[in-house]
Amino acid sequence: MKQMTIKSKLFNGICFAGIMLVALSTTSCSKPTCDLLSERPPIVHQMSMGKNNPVVEQVSDMILPDKHPVYASMAGEGDYEESEGLLDIVVEYLIKLFGGVIIFFVATFILWRNESRYLRKKHTLEEVDKNCIIMENPNTRDPSMEGKLVCATATASTEEILTDPDFGIEINAISLQRKAKYYQWVEEKETEGSGKNRRTVYRYKKKWVNEPIESESFHNPDYQDRNFVLVRINNEEQWARIVSFGAYILNDELKEFMVPDPLILDLDDKILAKWNDAVVNTLEENELPYPRKAKNIYKGSPLVTGNEAQEQNSTVSGNEVTPIHKKYDFVHQDKNILYFGNNPKRPTVGDVRLYFKKVMEGTVTVVSQVAGITFIPYESRVQEDYQTLVMGESNDDLIIADETTENKKNHWMTRIKASLATGVGLFMSFNVLFQILSFLFSFVPFISQYLQYLVDLTGFVFLIACLFVGIVWSVINIFLAWIINLVIVNIDDWMG
């Protein structure tokens, strides 16, 4: 009797464990994983289940605004479903299984590297703060400063003229940059259901993107010929070869620390007319379904508003005013933006925005090591290179204080992200095993319905459990990595 009781308990335990494993599996469980990896909260998946629901989509927009939300309509304008074959499901399971394992170990490695990076950066900043001297007059070369780590403030300037012949721009500047954005249909893939009801849903939205998207690869045939661009323009970034810094010359690494400002456009009407004709020719040659006459041409500055204005740094200060030019149907300029399209307020697929920026002559502060007429990075005793440039007038104490604060911030942010990633990796890997069981039991309707209920009830709990285990694992690794790297850094320091 006692033996039977033991067997009964063992059998019940195995059954309970099996049910719990299956209960924790579902495609809805795997979706928050993807959301976490793309830094999106799981609530988006829950909201996306309501197809073509404008209220849901609007709530989603408020919670997760697009990077460029000024014109892009976030409402889903098309869904396309297709059933998945067994091979597709197996491949996806294997990808998730090994993907979770890779994420777990990569996140663990990042935790170790993060401690080393932080300690070496901390040590280097302390060494720079101790050894840095002030260069009183960088406008005159001082042989006694050769090989010294200095902090100097002077005017960065160049005599070179940078040109953008495509738009007739010629400017005496340290840097000239242009960046394009394209308004395109974007395909987003989601997996819904489980077992026999498992299917892939493709949703289509219009967004501003960095590169044109080839819609021929879309799964929904109705959207395969939707994307095109009025003009395709390459991004460009030019830097002056020789940038003076008092009596010295800035190296390429220091120049890249310089922060660009908006380049206020004043393009010649001939240039605007040329590009307008190019757009018209594109429409006529390809017989593209695009509105030909402009409606409600903007007044003021509608091209960039809200968060994107801050991101693109297109705010104009002082008395700068956008010049008034002849109006064209398909080319509009405003501040540092050149817009190709019918109406900047109502973008259409194919529209293009160009952002122009510049780095002009100005006062900068450099912390670096003097090497002849230029500078080279300072190498600390822990083999960490250091040099920096900040815009405006500053001093080494302020610069080191700011970088010390930034180093601590990055250190903790990496700790948090990597710790969460270990939990996500565990969740992905174990979740695959649970999904396999769920798929197998899906052929028994009663059990499948019951398991699906348990999955919906416990999936989020399992995610939290995996995150907790990942955090505990990360804390242990952080402690060990801190001790080991601290010893290594000190040994490097002692050995000089």
Give the three-class secondary structure for 89: helix
- Single pTM value for the model: 0.68
What residue spans define the domains of the chain? 2-68+85-119+407-495, 135-394
| pLDDT: which is higher, 429 or 281 | 281
What's the rounded Cα separation, in Å, for the pair 95 and 88?
Answer: 11
User: 185: part of which helix (H) or strand (E)?
Assistant: strand 175-192
What's the rounded Cα separation, in Å, for the pair 464 and 427?
Answer: 9
Max mean pLDDT range (80-84, 384-388, 461-465):
384-388
How confident is the model over 147-158, as pLDDT tens digits? 999 999 999 999
> Which token pair is 423?
């939990």
Mean of all residue pLDDT scores within the chain:
76
Q: What is the pLDDT of residue 426?
A: 84
Q: What is the pLDDT of residue 417?
A: 93
Q: Which of 90-99, 347-356, 387-396, 447-456 has the lowest mean pLDDT?
A: 447-456
Residues in the chain, overall count: 496
How confident is the model over 203-232, as pLDDT tens digits? 999 999 999 999 999 989 989 989 999 999
3-state secondary structure 120-145: HHHHHHHHHHHHCEECCCCCCCCHHH
Q: What is the pLDDT of residue 381?
A: 87
Residue 273 pLDDT > 90? yes
User: 383: part of which helix (H) or strand (E)?
Assistant: none
Give the three-class secondary structure for 448: helix
DSSP calls for 7-72: HHHHHHHHHHHHHHHHHT--HHHHHHHHHHHTT--THHHHHHTSTT-HHHHHHHHHHS--SSTTT-
Please tell me what DSSP assigns to residue 196.
G
